[in-house]
Amino acid sequence: MSAERHRLMVGSQAIDYVIARRQRKTLEIAVEPDTSVVIAAPLDASLEAIELRLRRRATWILRQQRYFSQFLPRTPERQFVSGETHLYLGRQYRLKIVPHVQEKVKLIRGFIVVQTYRPSQAEIARELVETWYRDRAQVKFSERIELNIGRFPDPEAFRPRGLIVRRVRQRWGSMSPSGRLLLNRRLIEAPVDTIDYVITHELCHLAEPHHGTTFYELLDRVLPDWERRKQRLERILA
């Protein structure tokens, strides 16, 4: 179903937002890193009900937009050619593309080395590096989930029912109503402490589905420095 685009005036402030209707029972408001506002809404939710919720959350929405605005404009898309720098776990590595009979990606000292028999084709290098990133993310994120559930008094109650690693345009992560954790593939480029922030944030949603007072009380208890980690994440991956 196509997204619905609307504008709500709150005093002199305009809030442009998109409604994404889904098979769900509750309504959720998210301010994305590019400052856009996305509403995940039940299929039968009325525009009046949605705008009522928006008005109630307007102060928070505008505050979040101001916060993300400080990191704009975002860094241009990196190129997949020799000499370009790429991030892995918060450190910068130079890409080195070398002719080889086998296609493989290796981390060697300060380089991400791409072996390929098609070295002149940047799109092939992109595919190989993306696959390597995704494989590393699956391993590293699984390790960090195991460590981060230990922050909670009852760790097994905060164990997700599955992990999905996918490159998505805006969110760092999300927790489905069924308990499946989605993490943005790009997080493998970030420092481990910021990956832990995203994982812990999403694990908190297993107990508190919405970003209300009780959610942030839980997050403050299990990860007191989460705001510092969040700012570092947005600064590094801007």
**pLDDT score at 70:** 76
**pLDDT score at 75:** 60
CA distances from 149 to 176, 181, 206 (A): 17, 13, 11
Asked if 54 and 38 touch (Cβ cutoff 8 Å), the reply is no
DSSP 177: T
CA–CA gap between residue 204 and residue 215 (Å, rounded): 7
DSSP 170: S
Asked if 196 and 219 touch (Cβ cutoff 8 Å), the reply is no
Indicate the SS3 state at residue 212.
coil
Instruction: Work out whether strand 91-99 and strand 85-88 pair parallel, antiparallel, or are unpaired.
Output: antiparallel
Asked if 34 and 50 touch (Cβ cutoff 8 Å), the reply is no
Using alpha carbons only, what angle is made at residue 189 by residues 145 and 96, rounded to the nearest 5 degrees?
135
CA–CA gap between residue 232 and residue 90 (Å, rounded): 10
CA distances from 210 to 7, 88, 95, 99, 203 (A): 23, 31, 41, 50, 12
Asked if 111 and 88 touch (Cβ cutoff 8 Å), the reply is no
CA–CA gap between residue 165 and residue 82 (Å, rounded): 26
**pLDDT score at 95:** 95
CA–CA gap between residue 210 and residue 29 (Å, rounded): 9
Q: What is the CATH number of domain 85-236?
A: 3.30.2010.10
CA–CA gap between residue 112 and residue 30 (Å, rounded): 35
**pLDDT score at 125:** 94
**pLDDT score at 67:** 83
Residues of the chain falling short of pLDDT 50: none
Start and end residues for every CATH 3.30.2010.10 domain found in the chain? 85-236
Residues 6+ apart with CB under 8 A from 135: none
Closest C-alpha among 70, 11, 6, 9 to residue 35: 70
pTM over cut 0.75: no
